[in-house]
Each structure stands twice: as structure tokens, then as C-alpha cells.
């Protein structure tokens, strides 16, 4: 039988809107357009739409739970981009070019512009690529039209910029939408920021404390060592430690910047989240580093995929393309359960006796093989073997082992 290797990406061909429409059609609440003759579409009634969305999210949770943590596509690899202190761009090349306020949710969408190449001596850009926002900036404070006050930890390096000691208006980045689009809590209609809207530009700055928000599908369990991305050439290894180790370092030393050597994960403290004017449906996790990065750096590590909720119609479920049949079966089975208030109907039976066993067989075929001999250490499992290779170089029988 051919070996199949799992993908780490969300490759389902079915987005959230399509799955919700499937539920609405089965429940008889789908919309068919103003004439009633169109194709089934999302319900227009907010109550019906909410019920259908709940059923889809519950179905995905059920499918993940039925794997008992053994779906190989749940083994994900994160590349997390960390950043140093980002000061206002004195060239005016990077700025908020448009805003949109959502009064219902009290959120403002910021759309930024960035040049094709970084301006000279700009602290707002990495040297190799040009995103305005990195995904790890979510749930962090951004200062518009200025810099943090001198009392904010890690803000001292901002002094002496073109903005001098100007104190910006702080906002919280609530949602990361794209490298150039984020949502912040509140509105820009008041305060000193409003004078920039629609005129020249709104400069922004971000201070780093060495803490970076992890993706929403991270549930707190990493499954590999943490490493720098290939070609980093920083000559400093980075290792996992208990988060208490980093707290102990931070209490004893002044705020320090450089190349981090240790990292940990911890839930973002709920009081902190509350102060940032956001109430997530469950705690999010963050990566802690010591020392705080003094440059743009990227790390990667594996983790067990977790699941919260799909929200937007274009959101993709966390299942790969080959699992679309069992995903649809789970959605229809869960709809039948809600509709009949019982289990054992045709859709439920198909999911349990045909679709789910077939998915389990497919998952078994995706089991990774062990690597062969790595150096002189005999047969080793992949992660350990790769670690030995990277840290000790390739070992031949006639040479001495290089120290780490």
C-alpha cells in the first residue's frame, strides 16, 4: 500500500459558509433568494443562522474528538515571526491608509500601506520581507500617532526618534486579518489620532516585552523542540524552559534585548485580556522569550492542533481535503441529531459505520515512517534524530564528536 504523508495546512475545499448552507438546507431554513427560486444559501434570519453555525462548529469538534488525538493532520508546525520594538516610520512610507469602524462590535479595522522595499534605516520592517503586521502582534498594544510613555516596559529605545517623547494613543490589536490589516478595539474618532484620519498618515509604533501571541489553533501543548528557521545563522540555540524560569530572569534584571536563548508558553492571563478590552471564548496562549528580540526573528515548532470556532463564511475547517467526506458526514449527522433530538438516524449511522471508519483507515496510511541511521546513533525516531544531526553535525567513525 502506498505511503501517504499528511499535510500541515488547512486544505479542505469546504469553507464555513458552504457547511452552514448544508445544515440550513437539511433543516429547511436556507435562503432561496428574493424570488424563492435561487440556489440554497445562508439563512437570512439571524437566529437560524446562529443555530446552523453552532451545528457546524459542534460537528468539527465531534470529528476531532472521535480521532482521540490520533489524527495525524492535527500535528501542526508553527512558524512564529517575532519582532523588536517598532518605532514610527519617519519616512512616512508606512502608515494607516484607511480605517473602518464597526459600531456594533466597537472595532476599527486598520489597513496599512507599505512600500515595495523597506525605507533606509527603518525599524518598522524585517530585512527580508515587508509585512506591516506580523501574526504574533495579535492581542498586543499599538500606539497610533506617537510612541509609548517612558514608563512602559521596553519603551526606552523609542526615545530620540523623530517623534521625540510624543506619547501616542494606545489601542489593542484584537484580530489579525492579514499582514496589512488588523482590527483594534475602540474607535479613532476621538483624541489626537482623529486629526490624521483622511489626511497625511497615521504613524504607529509597537513595544515588545518578549511575549508573542500564538495562533488560535494552539491549545497549549507543543510536541517538538523549538528551533530557529533555516538559514538564521544566529549561533545561539533556543530551548524550551518552564515559564517560571523566564519570570525569574525578568524580575532580577533590567529590561534586556538581544537574541533569545530560552522560550516558554503560557495562557495569556485573563485579567490582562480583560484590560485589553476583549473577551475571547477561551484563553489564548503566548510565547515568552528571554531576552526580548532585538531584531526580526522566526522560530518554528510542532504542536497538537486545537479548535475553537469558525466565524467568517470564508474560514476553512482544520481538516485536510481527503477528510471532506467524513466532515460532511459529521455535519449532516450532527444536524440530524439536533433536528430529531436523538441519534441513530440514517445520517448518524452513515457517519459512524462508514465515513468515520474510512477516515480512520486513511489516517492509518498517513502514519510517518521512522528515519534511518542518523550519525552513529543507530535507529532513532525522527525528531530526536534530526536534533542530534543539527546539534552534533554528521559523525563518522574516524572523527571525534563535536561538542554542542
Under the banding of pLDDT at 50, 70 and 90, the label for residue 168 is: confident
Nearest to 10 by CA among 222, 300, 223, 321: 321
What pTM does this model have? 0.75
| Domain assignment of residue 394, given as a range | 372-404
244 is a domain residue: yes
344 is a domain residue: yes
Confidence at residue 128, expressed as pLDDT on a 0 to 100 scale: 43
Task: Report cis status (omega within 30 of 0) of the bond before 115.
Answer: no
389 has a pLDDT exceeding 80: no
8 is a domain residue: no
The DSSP code for 351 is I
The DSSP code for 195 is G
In the chain, pLDDT over 70 holds for what percent of residues?
Answer: 72
38 has a pLDDT exceeding 80: yes
Residues 67 and 135 in one domain: no
Residues 192 and 153 in one domain: yes
Residues 323 and 390 in one domain: no
Residues 300 and 314 in one domain: no
Tell me the pLDDT tens digit for each residue of 44-71: 999 999 999 999 999 999 999 998 878 9
Residues 217 and 105 in one domain: no
Helix axes 356-365, 324-340, angle to 10 degrees: 150
Residues 291 and 358 in one domain: no
Residues 194 and 151 in one domain: yes
Confidence at residue 196, expressed as pLDDT on a 0 to 100 scale: 53
- The last residue of a domain, from among 207, 242, 267: 207
Residues 50 and 101 in one domain: no
User: Sign (positive/negative) of CA torsion 295, 296, 299, 305?
Assistant: positive
What does the pLDDT average to over 23-38? Answer: 90
121 has a pLDDT exceeding 80: no
- The answer to whether residues 113 and 203 touch, using CB atoms and an 8 Å cutoff, is no
What does the pLDDT average to over 319-336? Answer: 94
7 is a domain residue: no
The CATH number of whichever domain residue 92 belongs to comes to 2.40.30
How crowded is residue 81: how many other Cβ atoms within 10 Å of its Cβ?
19
Residues 107 and 203 in one domain: yes
Q: Is 320 helix (H, G, I), strand (E, B) or coil?
A: coil
Residues 57 and 170 in one domain: no
Residues 97 and 177 in one domain: yes
pLDDT greater at residue 9 or residue 340 = 340
Number of structural domains in the chain: 4
390 has a pLDDT exceeding 70: no
Residues 190 and 105 in one domain: yes
358 is a domain residue: yes
Nearest to 61 by CA among 268, 267, 284, 217: 217
- The last residue of a domain, from among 168, 185, 207: 207
189 is a domain residue: yes
Q: Is 364 helix (H, G, I), strand (E, B) or coil?
A: helix
Confidence at residue 159, expressed as pLDDT on a 0 to 100 scale: 52
Amino acid at each position: 500500500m502506498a505511503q501517504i504523508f499528511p499535510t500541515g495546512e488547512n486544505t479542505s475545499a469546504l469553507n464555513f459558509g458552504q457547511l452552514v448552507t448544508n445544515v440550513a438546507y437539511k433543516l429547511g431554513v436556507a435562503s432561496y433568494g428574493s424570488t424563492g427560486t435561487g440556489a440554497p444559501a445562508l439563512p437570512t434570519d439571524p437566529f437560524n443562522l446562529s443555530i446552523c453555525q453552532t451545528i457546524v462548529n459542534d460537528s468539527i469538534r465531534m470529528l476531532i474528538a472521535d480521532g482521540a488525538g490520533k489524527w495525524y493532520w492535527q500535528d501542526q508546525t508553527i512558524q512564529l515571526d517575532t519582532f523588536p520594538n517598532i518605532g514610527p516610520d519617519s519616512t512616512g512610507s508606512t502608515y494607516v491608509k484607511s480605517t473602518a469602524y464597526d459600531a456594533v462590535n466597537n472595532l476599527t479595522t486598520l489597513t496599512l500601506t507599505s512600500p515595495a522595499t523597506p525605507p533606509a534605516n527603518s525599524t518598522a520592517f524585517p530585512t527580508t520581507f515587508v509585512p506591516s503586521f506580523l501574526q504574533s502582534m495579535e492581542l498586543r498594544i499599538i500606539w497610533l500617532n506617537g510612541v509609548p510613555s517612558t514608563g512602559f516596559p521596553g519603551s526606552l529605545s523609542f526615545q530620540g526618534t523623530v517623534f521625540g517623547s510624543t506619547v501616542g494613543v494606545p489601542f489593542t490589536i484584537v484580530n489579525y486579518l492579514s499582514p496589512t490589516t488588523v482590527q483594534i478595539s475602540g474607535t479613532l474618532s476621538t483624541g489626537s489620532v482623529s486629526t490624521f484620519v483622511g489626511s497625511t498618515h497615521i504613524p504607529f509604533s509597537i513595544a515588545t516585552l518578549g511575549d508573542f501571541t500564538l495562533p488560535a489553533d494552539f491549545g497549549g501543548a507543543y510536541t517538538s523542540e523549538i528551533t530557529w528557521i533555516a538559514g538564521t545563522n544566529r549561533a545561539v540555540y533556543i530551548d524550551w524552559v518552564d515559564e517560571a524560569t523566564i519570570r525569574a530572569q525578568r524580575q532580577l534584571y533590567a529590561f534586556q534585548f538581544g537574541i533569545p536563548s530560552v522560550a516558554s508558553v503560557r495562557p495569556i492571563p485573563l485579567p490582562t485580556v480583560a484590560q485589553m478590552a476583549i473577551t475571547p471564548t477561551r484563553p489564548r496562549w503566548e510565547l515568552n522569550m528571554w531576552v526580548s528580540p532585538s531584531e526580526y526573528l522566526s522560530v518554528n515548532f510542532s504542536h497538537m492542533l486545537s479548535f475553537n470556532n469558525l466565524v467568517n463564511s470564508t474560514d476553512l475547517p482544520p481538516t485536510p481535503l481527503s477528510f471532506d467526506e467524513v466532515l460532511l458526514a459529521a455535519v449532516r449527522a450532527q444536524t440530524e441529531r439536533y433536528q430529531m433530538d436523538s441519534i441513530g438516524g440514517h445520517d448518524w449511522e452513515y457517519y459512524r459505520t462508514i465515513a468515520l471508519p474510512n477516515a480512520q483507515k486513511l489516517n492509518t496510511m498517513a502514519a510517518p515512517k521512522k528515519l534511518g541511521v542518523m550519525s552513529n546513533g543507530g535507529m532513532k525516531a525522527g525528531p530526536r534524530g534530526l536534533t542530534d544531526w543539527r546539534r552534533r553535525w554528521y559523525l563518522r567513525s574516524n572523527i571525534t564528536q563535536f561538542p554542542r
